[in-house]
Amino acid sequence: MFSPTNTNFIFTSETTPAVSTNLKQSIDRVLPLVGIADAVNVTDSPNSKTRLSSLLVAAGIKELGLDVILQLTGRDRNRIAIESEVLGALSLGINKVLCLTGDKPSEGGPQVVNELDSAGIMKLLTGMSNGKLSDGTDIKEPLPIYSGAADDLYLQKNNPEAINFLKIKIGNGAKFVQTQYCFDEEICTFYSDLLMANGKTDNLKVLIGMGPLKSAKQALWMRENLWGVNISDNIIARLDASNNPNKEGLMICHELISKLMDLPGIDGVHLMGPNCEHDSAEIIKLFR
């Protein structure tokens, strides 16, 4: 289980619900991770494309005995909808929420709400943890919420002001951080140094994002199309030259994770990517 007091190196993964009314199909995707991962994120209609309710899928996954992190965006919700969703999650025993602004839809796509950005959602959830809705209404039987924030290592590297954005999220109640993809040991080391120089403690869990790369083509597409993703030419060439690129992708993750384990301020990794559940489990098994 992924908890604030966890002192072991943490492994989380993710799953994306299907475009389907078959709930079992979406839940069964995480079966390889049961008993392996510390928790699994359930994404919230990523890329502004409609998916089965993340809360519904998260509830089903929790029944498998796998801890759940509910991803929650402000893209599609005002504060009333956010509060309602979180109350529903808490009533189901789901208290870990990754707060996100949300992917922007393409031009001509659905209208964005974004009454609150990610930092605003964290502040709202902190109030709910303290027993209050945003309008001051008391919550009966309030429960603590373990809020999380996203971060971008490359933004932190290239923008000296970016650390202040992260500090705002932490000040608003973030208890854990899951970053965008990073396959660069040098950038991870920079990030570790930055966190420690800014007073990072064990009360904040920081997980570096990466994921199983299946091919050079996939890695190149991710680099060109996904926000905050930077995959080096060296890694793409390594995948391209391999007779078994899927296995090579697992080894790339294994090598980097082994190095991350020695970095101060880095508490774990978040393994993500399309249909990554099985390969994520295989990576985690290399360490457990």
pLDDT band at 230 (very low <50, low <70, confident <90, very high): confident
**Which pLDDT does position 266 carry in this prediction?**
98
Question: 3-class SS at 18?
Answer: coil
Among candidate residues 124, 37, 49, 137, the one with its CA nearest the CA of residue 85:
124
Q: Which two tokens stand for residue 73?
A: 């965006």
Residues contacting residue 104 through CB under 8 Å, at least 6 positions apart: 48, 75, 112
Residue 227 has pLDDT above 80, yes or no: no
Residues contacting residue 156 through CB under 8 Å, at least 6 positions apart: 162, 163, 166, 190, 191, 194
Cβ contact 280:33 at 8 Å = yes
Q: Are strands 39-42 and 10-15 parallel, antiparallel or unpaired?
A: parallel
List of domains in the chain: 10-212+260-273 (3.20.20.220)
**Which pLDDT does position 169 carry in this prediction?**
98
**Each residue's pLDDT tens digit, 183-203:** 999 999 999 999 999 999 999
Question: 3-class SS at 41?
Answer: strand
Tokens 């020695």 belong to residue: 262
C-alpha dihedral, 283 to 285 to 287 to 288, nearest 10°: 160
**Each residue's pLDDT tens digit, 92-117:** 999 999 999 998 888 888 999 999 99
